[in-house]
A and B are shown apart, each in its own frame.
Chain A
Amino acid sequence: MIKVAVVGAGKMGISHLAILGANPRVDVVGVCDTSKLILDALYRYGHFPCYTDFYKMLDQAQPDAVVIAVPTKFHASMVRELLKRNIHVFVEKPFCLSIVEESELILLAQKRHLINQVGYHNKFLGTFKEVKKLLETKSIGEIYHFHGQAYGPVVLQPKQDSWRSKSTEGGGCLMDYASHIIDLINFLIAPIRAVDASKLQKVHSTDVEDAVYAMVELENGISGMISVNWSDETYRKMSTSITIVGKKGKIIADANECKVYFKAKDVPFGYSQGWNTKYVTDLTANVQYYLRGEEYTAQMDYFLDCISNNIPGSINSFRTASETDNAIFLIREKQ
């Protein structure tokens, strides 16, 4: 059994807790939050050991691993404390608010051989995994352009009342919605090296941006665009998509489908010349427990596998998450 504790019982924390709670190889040894009302319910009905003090939980529960799902401004200090205590860390995205702190934490995790993962769940989606496979074999030829997009209905009115509406606490659309698509571009094509132009636009919020538009350049010289808007109510829920244009074809992928166009007959196995559509139903492996999407369980399974096998994972490590934060910094700086 792997002893896991969760800190933060908001939307993501509760979701992680349920995924861990349903996993027979996990012993949930603690849940920490400041809301007594939520802890009270988790204790009475779920019988989870609950704490309001992070340090007390670590001292008493002695977890092998901790899942952090608190506002971003608390990530760095909590991650540091866990690494110092030789505890494996899964932290929600984005990683931290300071690149300098991130560098220190990457080194510390490496030095202590601790498993470190950040919650960019899109990489565990069947459709985006298929895109990665197609790009690794250079099936659409030399890439010359891409467009990453994310839209959804989060902030639809002027009044908001959470840390996500405060710029000093890691709120805003760039840190939240846009980080997903930035991370996906970094993973699928290459890390963002420079930003040619960017526009952070307020729609309803007063302190943070609700939309992000940017032209970016990758390490390998490819340039493309990012368009993100979390105040778009024409979407029922968050929709993340990427279009990648190559000299031999084109890929359009989102969470549901992967559409691929091949110019010539020279195509990978299972594809043909012209348009091809593969659905998430064909590309997604079942999980033991499902909540909100296979990818959430799959990313946690990956984290737990890394711990069991004692092999650091290459997907969503602190290092790749820090590259994403670096791109976030560049986009903000360029405005």
Chain B
Amino acid sequence: MERILFGDNQFFAVNHISDEKSMAQSIRFKEDAAILKTLDVAKNTGINTFMCTTHDRIENICTVVRNNSEKYHDYKMYPCLPYAHKYANSITENGVMGTFQKFVPGNVLGSIFKGGMAVLSRDYMDLMELMIDSELKMFKGINTPVIFLQNVITDLLLGLRMKDFLVGFHRYVKLKYNAEAGFITMNMPLLLNVLESAGIRQPIICTSINKAGFRMSGGISLYEKVLQEERARIIAMQILAGGAVPVGQAIDYVCSLPGITSLLFGASSKTNIEETVAHINHHDQVYNMTKQVQVYA
């Protein structure tokens, strides 16, 4: 995994601190061309990985990436599935069963769940695999070395103690897509324990890590302790804590921590993207030098 990954929240009006900004982003990125232009800005700063949800509009981005193989020959996309709001809104409207019926292709539900009951436990895994396939269709022909499970599903499965689905996801993306599984979570220490208990070593975990301690369930000191142990490949997200911490300080904090493989961020403007990348590169250099000095000493 590369050190810096580019995220897609800004493209789809996901803003954790302001509904107003969220709407402004929705207007700004109405056209796919605006998204592509921003991806190019990021690409020009050296970011070759785009971590994105399975939002309908990503399909168009995928088409462009696929059709311009020369320009995007070393470009990677990390799909994060499912695009949860699509399902959450549907559940309110159609109920849990109605939502399955709406999104699972064909009459599969009818054929594997006889009389409203699964005959074998395997059938639930089949259902999960079908939903993974349907979400990943748009990425066909694109380099997707890591495939993520969105936090709302990872964390739901954690709370419901359904470890088997986390393991099933890990196994299936390897088998079918030759990709590594990644897990997005707001409960990193808890998730890591559960994955390890299922025999998954050094998992890829994308989680909130920021100086403000925001969305770090169990507390910032627990996170720092777990990071020290270097038991996982960690991608830090929400590093700016939604904008609550000034950029320089925010990045200084994350770069100073051990055990973080990559940093994920998203931004709309050229200036913000370039500034953030410059901050990361600068702080990485400083901490690498410090480490070298410590080794020599």
Q: A161 contacts B117, CB within 8 Å?
A: no
Contacts of B96 in A (CB 8 A): 9-11, 14, 35, 38
Additional A-B contact list (5), CB under 8 Å, known A35-B97, A241-B19, A257-B18: A18-B155, A45-B124, A156-B89, A162-B93, A164-B93
Q: B219 contacts A286, CB within 8 Å?
A: yes
Q: B93 contacts A37, CB within 8 Å?
A: no
Q: Is B248 an interface residue (CB 8 A)?
A: no
Q: B113 contacts A37, CB within 8 Å?
A: yes
Instruction: State the CA gap A161–B102 with chains docked (Å).
Output: 12
A-B contact count (CB 8 A): 150
Q: Is B16 an interface residue (CB 8 A)?
A: yes
With A19-B159, A21-B159 already in contact, the answer to whether A282 and B244 are too (CB < 8 A) is: yes
Contacts of B113 in A (CB 8 A): 37
Residue pairs across A and B with Cβ atoms less than 8 A apart, 26 shown, are A10-B91, A10-B96, A11-B96, A15-B156, A18-B156, A20-B159, A35-B97, A37-B113, A38-B97, A41-B124, A41-B162, A46-B160, A47-B161, A153-B89, A162-B94, A234-B26, A236-B85, A237-B88, A237-B89, A280-B242, A281-B16, A281-B212, A281-B242, A286-B216, A290-B155, A291-B186
Which 4 pairs between the two chains have the least Cβ-Cβ distance? A18-B159, A281-B244, A290-B186, A45-B162
B102 → A minimal CB distance (Å) = 10
Q: B16 contacts A280, CB within 8 Å?
A: yes
With A18-B158, A47-B161 already in contact, the answer to whether A236 and B12 are too (CB < 8 A) is: yes
Contacts of A281 in B (CB 8 A): 16-17, 212, 214, 241-244
Instruction: State the CA gap A234–B97 with chains docked (Å).
Output: 26
Contacts of B94 in A (CB 8 A): 160-162
Q: Is B217 an interface residue (CB 8 A)?
A: yes
Report B's interface with A, CB cutoff 8 A. 12-19, 22-23, 26, 85, 88-89, 91-98, 113, 116-118, 121, 124, 152, 155-156, 158-165, 186-187, 190, 212-220, 241-244
Q: Is A288 an interface residue (CB 8 A)?
A: yes
* Most-contacted residue by chain B among A155, A161, A281 (CB, 10 A): A281
* Most-contacted residue by chain A among B88, B96, B116, B117 (CB, 10 A): B96
Instruction: State the CA gap A14–B96 with chains docked (Å).
Output: 10
Instruction: State the CA gap A153–B159 with chains docked (Å).
Output: 27
A211 → B minimal CB distance (Å) = 16
A4 → B minimal CB distance (Å) = 13
Contacts of B242 in A (CB 8 A): 256, 279-281
B195 → A minimal CB distance (Å) = 15
Contacts of B160 in A (CB 8 A): 14, 17-18, 21, 42, 45-46, 48
Q: A155 contacts B93, CB within 8 Å?
A: yes
Q: Which residue from chain A places its CB closest to the CB of B92 in the assembled complex?
A: A154
Q: B241 contacts A154, CB within 8 Å?
A: no
Instruction: State the CA gap A164–B92 with chains docked (Å).
Output: 8
Q: A279 contacts B17, CB within 8 Å?
A: yes
Q: B159 contacts A35, CB within 8 Å?
A: no
Contact with B along A158-169 (1 / 0, CB 8 A): 001110110000
Instruction: State the CA gap A10–B90 with chains docked (Å).
Output: 12
Contacts of A161 in B (CB 8 A): 93-95, 98
A289 → B minimal CB distance (Å) = 6
Contact with B along A119-163 (1 / 0, CB 8 A): 000000000000000000000000000000000011110001110
